[in-house]
Structure 1
């Protein structure tokens, strides 16, 4: 699987986990040079508190387009240390 934004592969892995239709990529499969942590958070009742990254590629930034659960609830432990995407990031 690949996550692509602005015609650039920003994550790539053969070991994604699909939860609620989203592919979660292992943290070591993201190309960290494109990612910057943000202050954005959201809460899911069964997964817990999500934190976000913005991605910058070739001078364009996609704000809060990637999320992860640093400390997921027990029910979502399989996505600990994994990152998912939305907001125009193509996953294929």
Structure 2
């Protein structure tokens, strides 16, 4: 599976390594090109997953604000609900194409 914004691949991993939560594919941190991500100061706390970290995607000189997010330390109950530890896994906004 790949996450692409335009022609740029942001993440790539086998589907078996991804976690699906609420319709979003979450990529393992090591599968993401971290050089393309910049921490965002957009605050959000999910009622059941915990505190979220948003990232903007920088491609060339263009910054695509808040196109990715992760839960660095999800609530233990969220990990139990999902069935696997998704700490730090990264998901992408709808305009980032995720597929084969």
Shorter-chain TM-score category?
A: over 0.9
Show CA shifts across 1:26-85 (max 9, x none).
011110111111111211111011111100112221101100011101122322120000
Please give the root-mean-square deviation of Cα atoms over the aligned residues, in Å: 1.1
Paired residue for 1:46? 48
Q: Which runs of 5+ in 1 are unaligned?
A: none
Q: Which protein shows a greater Rg?
A: 2
1:86 to 79, 88, 93: 93
User: TM-score, normalised on structure 2?
Assistant: 0.86
Count how many residue pairs are aligned between Structure 1 and Structure 2. 92
User: TM-score, normalised on structure 1?
Assistant: 0.92
Q: Which runs of 5+ in 2 are unaligned?
A: 80-84
Confirm or deny: 8 A CA contact 1:38 1:64 kept in the other structure. Answer: yes
1:19 to 10, 16, 21: 21
Q: Which runs of 4+ in 1 moved over 2 A?
A: 75-78
